[in-house]
Structure 1
């Protein structure tokens, strides 16, 4: 049984079947999963992506500077976080805190590590937006960074429609094999695209366990929190 978990949600998880935008049904599903996870007694923080609003790596397509593009992407994570906070509250969740790496005082608290720890210890659901406030990173790196900073027992890497790590793209190769368990070194040696390499190396160096699972599966996060193997465990 884990004591504290960080969940990484992509913007795509909120968009659902669409590449961009928002899905009310998906938002409800995600909020329900987060509420159920906290109900198990686990302290829960959620790092939220913004790829459904804007992707910084499309800067060239839009003819804008990459730093500016990443700033837009960070603001996209705030939109998603406010949406998730609203749905959590509408579903009856109490004590939901939104913290941002870039100060936006009218909407959220600034991310301060010790304050976030205090919120978690009091049983709050802590939503973390704006990545780590810096350009040139996806949500992968801040999710690992926050999990380490907040002394989480593991990082739950939520995927959309993919129930773990495979030896090939399962959408293109029907015979692709899913791994139940991998070591950090095996992921590197096999060249498996679990997350950005810098984020993965950070997780490896700090021995942070990664659970890669399908967020579309009902009760997946609570199953993992309860100690039942699901998806792929990397440690």
Structure 2
């Protein structure tokens, strides 16, 4: 484990026994932590130099959430393996996948790896449909546009109960002024008003509305946050 966003620390941690570097292009559970510009590109370069695989955990950040198909696309970076889930099931059922080229995944031959639910026909059909929807780019564009709308609303709360906002597409980390309560306390108050967010067991709440959300619904949700903050 190394400090997030520190590419030099990653390079220093790699040895001859290192098989891969596994990172989240944007940290989810940490509070929607967006790395510095160029970080992902540098990780790609380091992995190439050290002959290590670059594995991107895009379970939360991928498949349109951040306004691109993958968060890695924000820097034009292609990892060796993607870890996908959550949105891959289209909100219908749980689906996860490891995606990569045959030169990497091809080392595993039929019968060498088992899975309790592998090959489920319904899950495969749903996952394929999600991929088809992403091919047009409309989902990503919607997340970008609505994310800009959400950002403007949340930024207006900075200094009024909010100390910082980090946002990528329709995914926001909102830091709450400690004088007004913890992230969990604010999340529970929002729940009473019909808004579901997730706290980070600190001062941050994470907002991840469905990509089919309407702008008016985002406005209503931010208004509930404003009322909870007493602002």
Regarding TM over 0.5, the answer is no
TM-score computed with the length of structure 2 as normaliser:
0.25
Q: Using structure 1 for the length normalisation, give the TM-score.
A: 0.24
Which structure has more strand as a fraction of its residues?
Answer: 1
Q: Which has the higher contact order (CA 8 A, sep 6+)?
A: 1
